[in-house]
Chains A and B, each alone.
Chain A
Amino acid sequence: MGRDFVIQGESLVNVKANPNTLMPSSTQLGLAYDAIRVRPIVHHEDCTVDAWGSAPADVQWMLAEAHVTMNLTHVDPAILQECVRLSMGGATGTTAGFGSFARAGTRLGNNQPRFAVGNNYIGLNITAPIDNLPWRFFFAYLMDPPFEWPLGTRRSIISLNWRVVPFTQDPAGIVGGVITGATNYQLWDRGSD
């Protein structure tokens, strides 16, 4: 029988970033209050010809990104603040407290490999203890609005909006001297950091 209920299980969120952060190895960010939502955003572009009017005669694939939204209830605030810092360009220095950002124009990837110093993207991992199908997003950051943090005497359910992009150091995608473009680029996988 190939069908069954799809139950992810308790989705613990782990993050990992470059060695100059608070999470140089896979570190727990928090536990979700309710279902985490993974939404791939795919881009296509129409090939139009006059003979076919307004409908496309063919469609070109133009890559994809993903948005991941989550409401966390059992959170490590220090790790969350570090994620916010990295998503705001990775401010550094003694004056870079929570809420500080890097200068305008700072690149998140900074032409550095994954988890290299200077690369501010975050490895976003969602565990799956029941389904045994975890999700790993290689290059993630908190997008606008990065978080919504309700304040009060009751526990805070912090909502986070992640954006996952197909970062690369070489958009031409040259492998062994052959230009491949984005061929076989992996936006996410079922592994874990």
Chain B
Amino acid sequence: MPNNIPDRDWVINGETLVRVKFGAHISPTVSNISGSMTTLCELGLAEDQIRIRPRFVHKDINVDDYGPDIPADVIALMADCTISMNLVHTSIPTLDVCLGEALGGQVEDSDNDGSLLPFGTLPGAGLTLGRGCQPLASGCHYVSLSLLSPQLKLPWRFPTAYLYGTPMEWPLGTKYSSISLNWRAIPYSAPTGSLVLSTSGVAVPFGEVYSSGSVLLDHGMDN
């Protein structure tokens, strides 16, 4: 009789500290945020459990021989993941940057004057978050989201995440604010190269985007 008890145990993550790592454009020199802002920051400590919900997308291949409802095969069409958390011990400047990046990037990097838009000010519609840049490179506005795991030793990292939908709910009052955040992680992949425009001399992302090998999540940690 197989005995697999040693493989099973309680699943206790430990104190789940949330860290974020920004693109290289976030630095004290371009920040109008008080204090020192670096690319790797502690965002906050969770009040209760953080919930990770991957969403797998499949599509049926139907053939007449199998009838109308049962697929003869299924195509895997990638996945994304949502992460919800209630933070209670939070870095507000870091959260501000997370919100700005999710809005399309607080740094006006198309003109790149090195300044941040004021908090709550929207950049132009139509901007992509990746801007064709590699994750964590200057100009890439995805955030690498890390959930630490001091007890289980099984941290979670979402290399290209952003605050989405209703990005946060911030209760105000005399009691401490438990700020709920909703993240979405996607398997972002940058184009393979760039093209220099003959008219302006500006390099723009150009080339193929491959889904194969793109990373949605892993158990690593940013440092």
Q: Which residues of A contact B (CB under 8 A)?
A: 47, 58, 60, 103-105, 107, 170-174, 178-181
Task: A171 to B17: give the CA distance in the assembly, Å.
Answer: 9
Other than the given A179-B148, A179-B150, A181-B150, 17 more pairs (CB < 8 A) read: A47-B10, A58-B10, A103-B174, A105-B173, A105-B176, A107-B176, A170-B89, A171-B89, A172-B15, A172-B45, A174-B17, A178-B150, A179-B14, A179-B15, A181-B14, A181-B15, A181-B151
Chain A contact residues, majority secondary structure? loop
Task: A113 to B74: give the CA distance in the assembly, Å.
Answer: 59
Please, which residues of chain A bring their CB within 8 A of the CB of B122?
Answer: none
Task: A181 to B10: give the CA distance in the assembly, Å.
Answer: 18
State whether A171 touches B15 (Cβ < 8 A). yes
Q: What string of 1s and 0s marks CB contacts (under 8 Å) between B162-183 and chain A?
A: 0000000000011110000000
16 contacts between A and B (CB under 8 A): A47-B10, A103-B174, A105-B173, A105-B174, A105-B175, A170-B89, A172-B17, A172-B42, A172-B45, A172-B89, A173-B15, A178-B150, A179-B15, A179-B17, A181-B14, A181-B151
Task: A69 to B151: give the CA distance in the assembly, Å.
Answer: 36
| Total count of chain B residues near the partner, CB < 8 A | 15
Chain A residue at minimum C-beta to C-beta distance from B18: A172
Chain B contact residues, majority secondary structure? loop
Q: For the complex, is B12 an interface residue (Cβ under 8 Å from A)? A: yes
Please, which residues of chain B bring their CB within 8 A of the CB of A47?
Answer: 10
Q: Which residues of B contact A (CB under 8 A)?
A: 10, 12, 14-15, 17, 42, 45, 89, 148, 150-151, 173-176
For residue A174, give the distance in angstroms from its CB to the closest CB of chain B. 8
Task: A181 to B149: give the CA distance in the assembly, Å.
Answer: 11
B12 is contacted by which of A60, A104, A105 (Cβ under 8 Å)?
Answer: A60
For residue A51, give the distance in angstroms from its CB to the closest CB of chain B. 12
Task: A179 to B15: give the CA distance in the assembly, Å.
Answer: 8
Please, which residues of chain A bring their CB within 8 A of the CB of B45?
Answer: 171-172
Please, which residues of chain A bring their CB within 8 A of the CB of B175?
Answer: 105
Chain A residue at minimum C-beta to C-beta distance from B16: A172
Chain B residue at minimum C-beta to C-beta distance from A103: B174
Given contacts A103-B174, A171-B45, contact A180 B150 (CB under 8 A): yes
Please, which residues of chain B bring their CB within 8 A of the CB of A58?
Answer: 10
Chain A residue at minimum C-beta to C-beta distance from B15: A181
Task: A47 to B11: give the CA distance in the assembly, Å.
Answer: 11
For residue A49, give the distance in angstroms from its CB to the closest CB of chain B. 10
For residue A34, give the distance in angstroms from its CB to the closest CB of chain B. 38
Task: A174 to B15: give the CA distance in the assembly, Å.
Answer: 11
A104 is contacted by which of B42, B148, B150, B174 (Cβ under 8 Å)?
Answer: B174
Please, which residues of chain A bring their CB within 8 A of the CB of B42?
Answer: 172
